[in-house]
């Protein structure tokens, strides 16, 4: 390429560049007006492409946001499920606490009505389905619990203390075969001995056949056995069977206390008040 042509080309490039730059810079000083042809060309050419791209980007963004939102909803759902499970368990706990509160309140009222020093105890082990009808409660010698102390619930007599350890006591339930409580029918003061039969019911024994005992009669403690105070509810007569040839009638009594679902009891700290002749007999033996 000749030298002069190279120079001309250089000058042309500088002129074109300078002109272009001046044109562009001049746009800074133009008052707002319609775009010039060059600008319109750029905008009209690239505008649709940018518009479509923007729409596509918005769709993608919407999808991404939707997905993110969905994930957020999913996470929220999981969280709510956990919260619900937690609240349900809390509700169950509160219901339990409420019921316990009700039971304890009734027990408290009952204790106040007894006017005897008592020890509240919780059932630790329930052995009602075993060979013997006993329960273990969480109060023992430390709490002043001794053998033969009456054990009651808010609905009536539970049994009496059979054995005691430092912190626990075994209670013989009314329904145990070895249990025996001096009882009487509240309605007509007919007396008998309430003993267990290793079932969920008791028997009122030694009631003569000519005595008037009816289903529905309330059986209470007589207070004559030296263990239970007088007037504590024992059970309700469920069934009466009279055999003309037998001396005593068969009376089935349902304990007023639901022994199978027992949770809290009161141990009456009243020492056994056995008749003196009993104690003398024991001493002689």
Partner 1 sequence: MKSVGVGRLSEREERPWGRFLVVFFGYSLLIYVIGAVFVFRLPWMFTRVDLMMAVCVEVAGRFPLWLSILWCFLWGYVSDVFQGRLWGLHAAAYLMVVYFHRLWSAKMDVWSLWYRVLLVGVGTTLQGVAAAMIVVGGFEMTGFLITTVGLALFAMMLSPFVMTPIPWILGEKNR
Q: Which of 33, 37, 49, 129 binds partner 1 (CB under 8 A)?
A: 49
- The yes or no reply on residue 50 touching partner 1 (CB under 8 A) is yes
Q: Is the dihedral of CA 273, 179, 141, 233 positive or negative?
A: negative
In terms of DSSP H, where are the helices of the chain?
3-26, 37-114, 276-284
- The yes or no reply on residue 21 touching partner 1 (CB under 8 A) is yes
Q: Which of 11, 15, 20, 141 binds partner 1 (CB under 8 A)?
A: 20
Cα separations in angstroms, 151 against 114, 139, 168, 259: 12, 12, 13, 12
- In the bound state with partner 1, the residue whose beta carbon lies nearer, of 36 and 78, is 36
- The yes or no reply on residue 5 touching partner 1 (CB under 8 A) is no
User: Cα separation of 217 and 252, whole Å?
Assistant: 11
Q: Which of 8, 11, 43, 246 binds partner 1 (CB under 8 A)?
A: 43
Distance of CA 7 to the CA centre of its chain: 99
- In the bound state with partner 1, the residue whose beta carbon lies nearer, of 17 and 116, is 17
Q: Which of 5, 25, 33, 261 binds partner 1 (CB under 8 A)?
A: 25
- The yes or no reply on residue 28 touching partner 1 (CB under 8 A) is yes
Smallest gap from residue 67 Cβ to partner 1 (A): 17
User: Cα separation of 75 and 71, whole Å?
Assistant: 6
User: Cα separation of 135 and 133, whole Å?
Assistant: 7
- The yes or no reply on residue 42 touching partner 1 (CB under 8 A) is yes
Q: Which two tokens stand for residue 251?
A: 């009376």
Half-sphere exposure of 44 (CA within 13 A, CB side): 7
Distance of CA 29 to the CA centre of its chain: 80
- In the bound state with partner 1, the residue whose beta carbon lies nearer, of 50 and 271, is 50
Q: Which of 8, 15, 24, 68 binds partner 1 (CB under 8 A)?
A: 24
Cα separations in angstroms, 119 against 148, 192, 240: 14, 29, 36
Say if CB 216 and CB 222 are below 8 A apart: no
Smallest gap from residue 70 Cβ to partner 1 (A): 21
- The yes or no reply on residue 62 touching partner 1 (CB under 8 A) is no
- The yes or no reply on residue 13 touching partner 1 (CB under 8 A) is yes
- In the bound state with partner 1, the residue whose beta carbon lies nearer, of 53 and 239, is 53
Say if CB 157 and CB 269 are below 8 A apart: no
Distance of CA 194 to the CA centre of its chain: 36
If binding means CB under 8 A, how many residues of this protein chain bind partner 1?
21
Contact stretch for partner 1 (CB under 8 A) within 45-53, 92-100, 201-209, 210-218: 45-53
Q: Which of 8, 46, 65, 125 binds partner 1 (CB under 8 A)?
A: 46
Smallest gap from residue 50 Cβ to partner 1 (A): 6
User: Cα separation of 158 and 33, whole Å?
Assistant: 102
* Site of interaction with partner 1 (CB under 8 A): 13, 17, 20-21, 24-28, 35, 38-39, 42-43, 46, 49-50, 53-54, 56-57
């Amino acid at each position: 390429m000749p030298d002069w042509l190279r120079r001309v080309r250089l000058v042309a490039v500088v002129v074109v560049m300078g002109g272009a730059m001046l044109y562009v810079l001049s746009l800074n000083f133009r008052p707002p007006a319609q775009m010039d042809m060059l600008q319109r060309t750029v905008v009209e050419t690239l505008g649709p492409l940018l518009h479509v791209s923007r729409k596509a980007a918005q769709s993608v963004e919407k999808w991404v946001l939707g997905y993110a939102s969905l994930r957020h909803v999913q996470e929220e759902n999981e969280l709510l499920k956990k919260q619900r499970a937690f609240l349900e368990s809390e509700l169950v706990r509160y219901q339990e606490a409420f019921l316990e509160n009700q039971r304890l309140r009734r027990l408290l009222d009952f204790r106040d009505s007894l006017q005897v020093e008592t020890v509240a105890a919780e059932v630790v082990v329930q052995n009602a389905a075993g060979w013997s009808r006993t329960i273990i409660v969480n109060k023992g010698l430390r709490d002043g619990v001794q053998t033969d102390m009456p054990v009651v619930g808010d609905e009536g007599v539970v049994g009496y203390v059979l054995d005691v350890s430092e912190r626990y006591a075994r209670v013989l339930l009314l329904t145990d075969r070895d249990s025996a409580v001096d009882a009487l029918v509240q309605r007509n003061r007919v007396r008998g001995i309430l003993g267990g039969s290793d079932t969920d019911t008791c028997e009122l024994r030694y009631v003569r056949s000519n005595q008037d005992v009816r289903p529905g009669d309330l059986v209470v403690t007589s207070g004559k056995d030296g263990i239970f105070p007088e007037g504590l509810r024992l059970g309700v007569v469920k069934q009466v069977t009279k055999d003309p040839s037998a001396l005593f009638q068969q009376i089935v009594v349902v304990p007023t206390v639901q022994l199978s679902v027992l949770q809290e009891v009161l141990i009456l700290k009243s020492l056994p008040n056995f008749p003196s002749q009993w104690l003398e007999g024991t001493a002689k033996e």
